Structure 1
Amino acid sequence: MSKERQCPCCGSAKLEPGKVQSSGKVYFRPENTKFLTLGTNDVELSANLCMDCGYVMLIGDMRKANKLLNKSQAH
C-alpha cells in the first residue's frame, strides 16, 4: 500500500509528478562515493509539483544511493 504524499509546504495532496531538467537530467551525487565505479555515481531525481502553492519536491532513487554508499563504505 502506497502512502499518499503531501506537500511539505502547504499540506496539499494535489501533487503533479514529473522530472526536473536542465540541458539534460539533473542528478544527485553523494559526496561519500568514489568517482570511478562500474556504473555512474549519479542518483536520478524525480519531482512533484504542488498544484496549490507551486512547491517542487525532489525525490531521489534511494536504492541506487544506498547501493553506492554501501559499496563505497566497504572499501
Structure 2
Amino acid sequence: MEYLAAVQLAEMISTVIYTFVGVALMGVVWKVIDWLTPFPIMKEIEQDQNMALAVLIGLLFVSISIIIAAVIVS
C-alpha cells in the first residue's frame, strides 16, 4: 500500500513540474514570436482590433502546446 502512495505522490510531483516546464516554454515561445514580428502584436490586437491576428496567435499557441505536451508525455 505504501508503494502505491509513493507512486501517486511521484506522479503528482512530476505533473506539477512538467506543468511549470510547459508554461515556461510557452512564455519563451511568446517572447520569440514577439521578437520576430516587425510590429507590436499586442497593439495590433488590443488597439487596432485585428481579429485575424488574434485568432492566428491563439491557434499558434494551441499547436505549440500540443507539441510541448507530446514531447513531455513521450
TM-score, with length taken from structure 1 = 0.29
TM-score, with length taken from structure 2 = 0.29
User: Comparing both chains, which one has the higher relative contact order based on Cα–Cα distances under 8 Å and sequence gaps of 6 or more?
Assistant: 2
Q: Which has the larger radius of gyration?
A: 2
Larger helix percent: 2
